Amino acid sequence: MNKREGIKQQAKILTLSGNSTQRGKIRLLMPGAWHLFTLGCMVWPIRESLAQRKNGLSDYENMTVDSTQHRVYYEQRLYRNPLIGILGLAEALPKQDIDTFVPLFQGVPIAQYRLGTTVSTTTITKPERQEWRKTHPFNSRNYKFDFRLQPEFIAQFGFREQVVESKTNLLLQSQLYLSRGLVLNWGILFPIVNQLDNQALNVRPAPIFLNQFLALDGVNFVSLSAGLFYNDQYGVNVQYRHVDLTKNWSFGVEAGYTGFYFFPKNGFYYQAPENLMLLADVAYRIPKQDITLKLSGGQYMYQDRGVRFDFIRQMGSVEVGFFTTKTSNGTTGGFNFATPIPPGRIARTQRVRLRTTEEFRWEYAYTRGYNIASRYRVGYQLDALLRQYHSRYLQNQYRQYQ
């Protein structure tokens, strides 16, 4: 078998995950149930991989092929798992003999991945990035008008009269690429059910904010956001992360200054900013199991100070985590997960695409009503984004299909 045939056979990615809750308490699935669940999760990723084979290069944006270096630069927003994009692109470019792949995020290169008997990762230095920017001027026309459907579900266990209090919305979101790394996130929110608070069921703007993603060199990354965020907070957010995508240790800091806002049936209401958030974290990756242990702490919203410990497991396209936190407002724990939402692509023309979101992320905390380690959500957390591009995470998946 030659290398190209081997790559083609490996373009099948499986998603494995599972979780279960009961009355606010967390329990682990028994091994038999876990295996049945993960078997069911295999169907959609395989189907998506085959669909990508059929559609060739249509799912990729801002693509540049360097045939002399056997390298391709590209961006793909359809799949949460970068390896699906890499293997699909390797299959779609058989005649160019491409073996080196450089995925972009908002037009910024992440790292360099070479396919062979394994996936070898090389960080991109600052001089290399500067040279690439000179030879590859940014052009927003290289991107589709991409619209995604994003469900939003907020729930907590209530009282005997109403066991579960929930709020469900459907967001139609898009991004406007303004320059390299800089995008405007915008959309429309369609309310479905609200049994949680007094927010009216009115169609209103979804979170609207600017985000600038920066790669300072091969190991230092920054995310800058400003606008109307999730969780009814507006303001500014800054994230910095030092991470070598070939190493196990990483650390980062995050700062934000926000205030409350909401959209009544008529108009817009907001309060002066008063929430200062200052957090730092250190994380260690157990490479063989794709487990990340993360310790973070500092000041959360509402001047609540404390620490949080996360146990995170990556399994194909799915991520599952458990956490515990102790702050001045109390102690709690819970779980979270991130998963793609099928079917992915819904409709597409040459310039416009409608799809389901590549990532639905949800978190549940056992204790309610005490504002313990409360925080708002922006478009992405920098550590979670870069975790998807870690060399061992991609190697562990790639090894299964050799």
Any domain includes 364: yes
Contact indicator for 184, 178 with CB cutoff of 8 Å: yes
Q: Residues 128, 252: one domain?
A: no
Beta bridge mates, 260: 233
pLDDT at 402: 67
Q: Residues 191, 330: one domain?
A: yes
Per-residue pLDDT reduced to its tens digit, 39-98: 344 344 444 444 444 457 889 999 999 988 899 999 999 999 999 999 999 888 877 788
- Mean per-residue pLDDT, 226-238: 97
Domain that holds residue 317: 142-387
Q: Residues 133, 254: one domain?
A: no
Check whether 163 has a pLDDT greater than 80.
no
Q: Which of 117, 140, 163 is the last residue of a domain?
A: 140
Q: Residues 92, 195: one domain?
A: no
Residue 54 region by backbone torsions, left for phi larger than 0, else alpha for psi between -120 and 50, else beta: alpha
Q: Which of 125, 140, 155 is the last residue of a domain?
A: 140
Most distant CA atoms of the chain, gap in Å = 68
Check whether 139 has a pLDDT greater than 60.
yes
Mean pLDDT of the chain, nearest integer: 86
Give the number of other Cβ atoms within 10 Å of residue 179's Cβ. Answer: 11
- Mean per-residue pLDDT, 310-334: 96
Token pair of 308 as six digits: 């949080």
Check whether 31 has a pLDDT greater than 90.
no
In whole angstroms, what is the distance from residue 265 CA to residue 155 CA?
23
Q: Residues 48, 195: one domain?
A: no
pLDDT at 165: 83
- Looking up residue 158, the CATH number of its domain turns out to be 2.40.160
Domain count, the chain: 2
Q: Residues 16, 40: one domain?
A: yes
Q: Residues 250, 120: one domain?
A: no
Any domain includes 202: yes
The secondary structure element, H or E, covering residue 194 is: strand 182-194
Per-residue pLDDT reduced to its tens digit, 329-385: 999 999 999 999 999 999 999 899 999 999 999 999 988 768 999 999 999 999 999
- Mean per-residue pLDDT, 271-285: 97
Give the number of other Cβ atoms within 10 Å of residue 88's Cβ. Answer: 26
Any domain includes 318: yes
pLDDT at 197: 84
Check whether 229 has a pLDDT greater than 60.
yes
Confidence at 198, pLDDT banded by 50, 70, 90: confident
Any domain includes 315: yes
